[in-house]
Structure 1
C-alpha cells in the first residue's frame, strides 16, 4: 500500500500542497518565488514517477506552462492595469459608482455591482470582467468607507457563475458540445442555475462574510488609497460624464461580444430583410475575430481609459506617461504571479492526478449527476483549472449520457458547478483576485475560495431540485 501511494499521483499532489503552504504561508516568500519553487519541485517528483517525464522536463515544462499562461493573460492584465489606474485616477470609476447609487440607492450598491458583473460575464471571459469591475469595487469602497469584502464577493460571484453555467462562455459551451446538449436549452437552464447560485454566493455569503471581516483598502494596481479617497470626495462636476466614464467597459464588452454574436449567427436562418446584413457580418468574421480577441479589445479599451485620464487630470504629458508606466509595473507583477500559479497547476496536472482521481470514482454507484459533479470537483481541486476539470469530467461522462433520466443540459450544469469549486493556490484565478483586489492570502481564501465553493454546492443542489421537477427528458 505504501509503495502504491509513493508511485501514485496522490504523492505529487500532497507534496505540492505541502510546499505551497510552507513557502507561501509559513515562510511568507514572495508569491512568484514560492510558486516557482513549488512547480519545480512537483516537476522533480513527476520525473521520478511519471513515464516520459524526463528530469529536464521539470524545468522546461514549468517554463513552458508559465509562458503559455503569460500568452493568455499577459497583455490583458497589463492593459487592465492601465484601465484600472486610468478609471480610478480620472474619476471615471467614481462617476459610475455614483450613477449606480443614484439608480438603486446607496444601500443597494452591492446589488448594482452584482448585476453588472453577471451580465458582463455572459459575453466576456471571467478574468476580463474582473479586470473591468475591480476598479468599481475599489471606488465603491473608497466612497462608502466600508463593505470592501462584500463588493469584491458580489463582483466575483456574478462573473464566476456566468463563467461556468451560461453559454456562450467557452467552458459550458465546450461541455455542452462534448455531451451533446442542446445549446438553447443549456442557456435557459444555465440562467436558472446561475441566478440562485450567484445570489447565495454573492449576496447572501457576501453580506455574511462582510460582517465578520473588515478588509482595508490597500494600494493596488498603481493607485494609492489616499488617491482613491480624494477622488471619492470630488464634486460631480469635476468627474467625466457617464458616457465617457463607461467607454472602456462598453468598448471591451462590445468588441469581445461581437465575436460571440458572429459565432451565433453562423448557420442561423433569419428573415429575408436581415439576410444581407447577417451575410456581411459572417463574411467579415476574420476581422471580427481580430477586434474581438481579448488582447485587442482590452488594448483599445485601455487607450480610451488613458485618454480620459489625460483629459481629466492636471498632469503634464511626461507625468501622465510616468503614471501609466507605474501601472504597467504593477500589472507585470500581477501577470507573473498569475501565470506562475497556472504553471504550478499545470505541473500537478502532468502527474496524471486528474484522470487518477476521476477513474477512482467511476465504480461507486453514485447517481450520474452527482458523480459528474464529484469528478469535476476533485479534478479542479487537484489541478486548479476549472476548464480542464470541466472538460475532463465531460469526456468521462459523455458515453454515459444515454443512462441519464433527465436532459443532458443538467449534466452540463453539474459539471460546471464541480469545476468551479475551491479556487486555491494552484488556480491562476486565485492569484488574479488576490493581487488586483489588494488582498492577503487569508482574505482571498475567506472571500474568493469560499465563494467558489458556495457557488459549486448551490449549483449542484439547484440542479438536483430543478431536474427532479422538470426533467425535460
Structure 2
C-alpha cells in the first residue's frame, strides 16, 4: 500500500499540473499532504515534516540560486556574454562556428539558467546565420544542446544542485563527474544533430521582431578575460575541492580551506564580488547599475525556489511516512541496476510533468531510499536522476515552446529536432554514468 500511496501522490501532481494547469509548487504540496494522510500521519506531523523538508531543501540551495542568478544578470547587462561568443567566433572562424557557439554555451551555461543564456545567445545566433547565410539550425542547435547539457549535468544549476542536496552528495564531486560526461556527450550530440538528414531538411526563417535584446558595440563590451573569468572561477574552485575530497584525507589543512572556498555558495559569491568590479567600475558602469542587475535577477527566481522547496516537502513526507523504507525494501531484490532504475523514474516523471525541475525533485524523493541502499556513489546517482530529467522534451515543457518560437519551427519540426536531441542526451548521459560507475568505488 505505501507504494500505491506514493503513486497516487504522483498521479495527483499530474492531474493538477496537466489538465488543471496548476503550478508545481502548489501541486507538490498538495501531493505531500495526500500521501501523508493516506499513510496515517497526524496532521501536525504532516505540517512539521513539510516545513522541515522545505527548510532542509533550500537552506544552502537558496544561496546557490541567488548568487548564480545575480552573476548571470550582471554578465548579461555588461555585455560579457556577447563578448565571449564574439571572441570565440572571431578566433575560430565561420567554418568552426558550431564549435565556437558550443563553447560559448558551455561557458555561459555553467552559471546561467537555460532560459537566460538562451535569450542572451539567440540574437548572436540570428546575426551569424544572417551574415553567413548558414541554415539557422546549423548555428542554433549546437548552442541549445550545449545549454541543455550544462543545465542537466552540472551544479550549480537547480536540478543537479537540488538532488545533490537531497542525496547528501558532494557538489564539487558531482560537478567533476558531470563534466566528464557532459563534455563528450554534449559535444557529440551538438555536432551530430545538425548533420542528420531530417534536421538538415528543415530550413526555418529568422523570425522578425521577436528578439529585442540589446546588441552591444565593441566599445561597450568588457574585455574577454574580464568576461570569462567570473563564470569560470566557480568551476575552478569547485573542481579543486572535488580533487581534494578524492585524494586528500579529512583534516588536511588544504582540504579544510577548500571545503569553504570551493563550496558552491562561496565560489559563486567570490565570482559575483569579482564581477562587481570587472563588469562594473572597471568598464564604466556604476555600482548602482550593477546592484540593479542583481535586484532584477532575483525577481524571476521566486517560483523556482518555491517549487524546489515544495519538492523537499514531498520528499520529507515520503521519508517520514515510511514510504521510502517500503520502496527500499521492495527494490532491494530487483535485478536491475539502481542507476537505470533512478534514470527511468526521472524519465517517466519528465515525460508526464514537462518541467525538469519538478520532475527531478519528485524523482529525488522516490529514488532516495534506492540510492541509499545501492552502495553506489551518491554523486553518480545524482547524475542518473538529472540525466533522466532532460529526456523527451515536448509540448508540456516551457523550454520546448521557447525553442520552437524563437527558431520559427513548426510543431512537427520542433518535436523531431528537440525531443530527439534531449532524449539522445539523456540516453548517452545514462551510458556515461554506467561507465563511470565501473571506475568509481
TM range (shorter): 0.5 to 0.7
How far has the Cα of 1:373 moved from its partner? Answer: 1.0
Aligned residue in 1 for 2:27: 38
Which secondary structure state, in structure 1, belongs to the residue aligned with residue 214 of structure 2? helix
Query: Which among 45, 52, 59 is matched to residue 64 of structure 1?
Result: 52
2:87 maps to 1:81: no
Which secondary structure state, in structure 2, belongs to the residue aligned with residue 160 of structure 1? helix
Query: Which among 379, 384, 394 is matched to residue 360 of structure 2?
Result: 384
CA contact (8 A) 2:73 2:297 kept: yes
Give the alignment of 1:295-444 within 5 angstroms. 295-311=265-281, 318-341=288-311, 343-344=313-314, 347=317, 368-369=336-337, 372-378=339-345, 381=348, 384-385=360-361, 392-398=369-375, 416-417=383-384, 420-423=387-390
Query: Aligned partners of 2:204, 2:319: CA distance in 1, in Å?
Result: 34
How far has the Cα of 1:61 moved from its partner? Answer: 3.3
User: Any idea what the Cα deviations from partners look like across 1:407-459, whole Å, max 9, x if unmatched?
Assistant: x99x99799546621359xxxxx99x79999999x9xx979987664333335
**Cα 1:216/1:327, change in 2 over 3 Å:** farther
How far has the Cα of 1:50 moved from its partner? Answer: 1.6
Give the alignment of 1:17-416 within 5 angstroms. 17-24=14-21, 34-51=23-40, 53-106=41-94, 108-112=96-100, 114=102, 129-131=110-112, 137-145=118-126, 150-158=142-150, 160-161=152-153, 191=180, 197-199=185-187, 201-204=189-192, 226=212, 228-231=213-216, 234=217, 236-267=218-249, 282-311=252-281, 318-341=288-311, 343-344=313-314, 347=317, 368-369=336-337, 372-378=339-345, 381=348, 384-385=360-361, 392-398=369-375, 416=383
How far has the Cα of 1:326 moved from its partner? Answer: 2.3
**Cα 1:397/1:453, change in 2 over 3 Å:** farther
Using structure 2 for the length normalisation, give the TM-score. Answer: 0.66
How far has the Cα of 1:97 moved from its partner? Answer: 0.5
Unaligned runs of 5+ in 2: 127-135, 156-160, 350-358, 392-396
**Cα 1:332/1:96, change in 2 over 3 Å:** same
Number of residue pairs the alignment of both structures matches = 393
Unaligned runs of 5+ in 1: 121-126, 164-168, 178-182, 220-224, 269-278, 399-407, 425-429
CA contact (8 A) 2:77 2:293 kept: no
Using structure 1 for the length normalisation, give the TM-score. Answer: 0.63
Aligned residue in 2 for 1:10: 7
Query: Aligned partners of 2:228, 2:44: CA distance in 1, in Å?
Result: 49
**Cα 1:207/1:68, change in 2 over 3 Å:** farther
How far has the Cα of 1:343 moved from its partner? Answer: 4.2
Which secondary structure state, in structure 1, belongs to the residue aligned with residue 388 of structure 2? coil
Which secondary structure state, in structure 2, belongs to the residue aligned with residue 22 of structure 1? coil
